[in-house]
Amino acid sequence: MARSSTLELLEQLQTGGLTSLQLTQQCLDRIAARNDQLNAFVQVSSETALESAERIDQKRRKGQPVGLLAGIPLGVKDNLCTASTATTCGSRMLQNYVPPMSAHAVEKIEAADGVILGKLNLDEFAMGSSSETSVFGPVRNPWNTECTAGGSSGGSAAAVAAGLSPLTLGSDTGGSIRQPASYCGVTGLKPTYGRVSRYGLVAYASSLDQIGPLAGDAAGCALLLQTIAGHDSRDSTSLPESCPDWLNLMQQPVAGLRVGIAEEYFAEGLDAEVENAVREAVRVLESAGATVTSVSLPHSRYAVAAYYLIACSEASSNLARYDGIHYGYRAEEFANLTDLYCRSRTEAFGSEVQRRIMLGTYALSAGYYDAYYLRALKVRRRIQQDFEKAFEQVDVIAGPVTPATAFQLGEKLNDPMAMYLSDIYTISTNLAGLPGISIPCGFSGSAMPIGLQLQAAPLQEAVLLRAAHSLQTLTDWHLQTPGGT
């Protein structure tokens, strides 16, 4: 199963070479064998998954039509609500929370006959870059279990890389799909802001959050995006745009594609092995008929500062509801109402979440709003304008996903600035509301995966998938599996 692409699995399901029940059981067996080591899944819904698979097989046997996913198993990041199953966000604050409804993306998966295997580990409330801050413990990278799987969608990336699930859902606020996809050697797509409804996604930073797919290849991402995208009236930011046939469009040749190289992405701090692999991937696209030119993103150097002011300010607002009264964990002992608030939030939020709440609250406070939050919004607009100008000249912008390959667990946990800088190349995509994708493009000397990032103009996921699919027909980096799995 680990060596088969999602489309190959679909073909086997459609031709009768494999049943959904068999495929689901294979995934559950692999989870049982590997998850104790990797800690990717925090909940496994074995019984309901097998029941769903059997129901889909029965539909096939009766000649009834099946949905787009047609019995493919997948895992869901644990900040997406699932009715009747706990949604914890990796936090003590929501450790026993069972939502009354499912996220829009989960509803779409179930309607498309996808089989949900369970919930995947993440940084607490999706605030992190290493999946180490979860109340369930860190996710380990299948390529080297002493290393991070990335964050915050570390469980989603590790599950695909280790063959626990052919597809997974993640969320991306500043790189949280693309960075772990790069670290784990899988393909991860962050769609245009508003392309996928955020209904049922537990909010971190509402103007930046976006749900997206992770898979072994671009085709798997296209299939899952085709399933979950589309307008949803329950989300006021959901775009009223029709969804093209991404699976078909990605087959178009790459000849004529205009690839931009932003030299700001190749400055000091970028590991030489990462730079060489990324530039070689661009040369492969060029050899297939793409044209390569230089573009400039001069305000990208301010992206990290602007992002952490905006994201933390929105986090401070969104997480204010967890007060021990209306939502979430409540301290058992307290002296008065103020003490209840303080104890509940201190006991239930981890240090990284507390840090971001305090930073955001400070930036929004009287006397500092104009100096910090408002100025960050102005920088955000400059970053958007840089991209608008660049996309007048090119179709995609190519660069690294991360400055280096996956780092050791614990290496940056007590150095927030070093941790934040691991997302230096992905953050601007979210600030501008663009789609971006991470594609495997090589390995370091220590046999750790390297990812190529492509960014495109809003609603141009088809261009990203076309470029990614072309690269994957010309290379085999995406076919490599950790430990020969």
Query: What is the rounded distance in angstroms from the CA atom of residue 76 to the CA atom of residue 218?
Result: 18
Bridge-based pairing of strands 291-295 and 115-120 is unpaired
Cα–Cα distances in Å, from 244 out to 5, 78, 286? 22, 28, 26
CA 286, 297, 399, 275 torsion-angle sign: positive
> Does the annotation mark 182 as catalytic?
no
Among 5, 77, 153, 190, which one carries the catalytic annotation? 77
Phi first, then psi: give them for residue 19, nearest 5 degrees. Answer: -100, 160
Among 152, 197, 238, 344, which one carries the catalytic annotation? 152
**Contact (CB, 8 A) for 210 and 475:** no
Query: What is the rounded distance in angstroms from the CA atom of residue 149 to the CA atom of residue 158?
Result: 6
DSSP string, 300-314: GGGHHHHHHHHHHHH
Bridge-based pairing of strands 73-77 and 167-172 is parallel
CA 98 to chain CA centroid, nearest Å: 23
Tell me, what's the pLDDT at 326? 83
- Burial of residue 272 (CB within 10 Å: 0-12, 13-18, 19+) is exposed
Name every residue whose Cβ is closer than 8 Å to that of residue 252 and which is 6 or more positions away in sequence: 466
> Does the annotation mark 156 as catalytic?
no
Tell whether pTM > 0.95: yes
Tell me, what's the pLDDT at 366? 87
Q: Which two tokens stand for residue 129?
A: 């870059």
The second-level CATH assignment, the architecture, of 6-257+465-484 is Alpha-Beta Complex (3.90)
Q: Strand, coil or helix: what is 182?
A: helix
Tell me the pLDDT of the chain (485 aa) as tens digits: 445 899 999 999 999 999 999 999 999 999 999 999 999 999 999 999 999 999 999 999 999 999 999 999 999 999 999 998 999 999 999 998 999 999 999 999 999 999 999 999 999 999 999 999 999 999 999 999 999 999 999 999 999 999 999 999 999 999 999 999 999 999 999 999 999 999 999 999 999 999 999 999 999 999 999 999 999 999 999 999 999 999 999 999 999 999 999 999 999 999 999 999 999 999 999 999 999 999 999 999 999 999 999 999 999 999 999 999 888 999 999 999 999 999 999 999 999 999 999 999 999 998 899 999 999 999 999 999 999 999 999 999 999 999 999 999 999 999 998 999 999 999 999 999 999 999 999 999 999 999 999 999 999 999 999 999 999 999 999 999 998 55
Query: What is the rounded distance in angstroms from the CA atom of residue 263 to the CA atom of residue 202?
Result: 36
| Boundaries of every domain in the chain | 6-257+465-484, 301-378
Q: Which two tokens stand for residue 99?
A: 């939502």
The DSSP H or E segment spanning 43 is strand 41-44
Among 45, 102, 171, 176, which one carries the catalytic annotation? 176
Tell me, what's the pLDDT at 2? 44
> Does the annotation mark 77 as catalytic?
yes
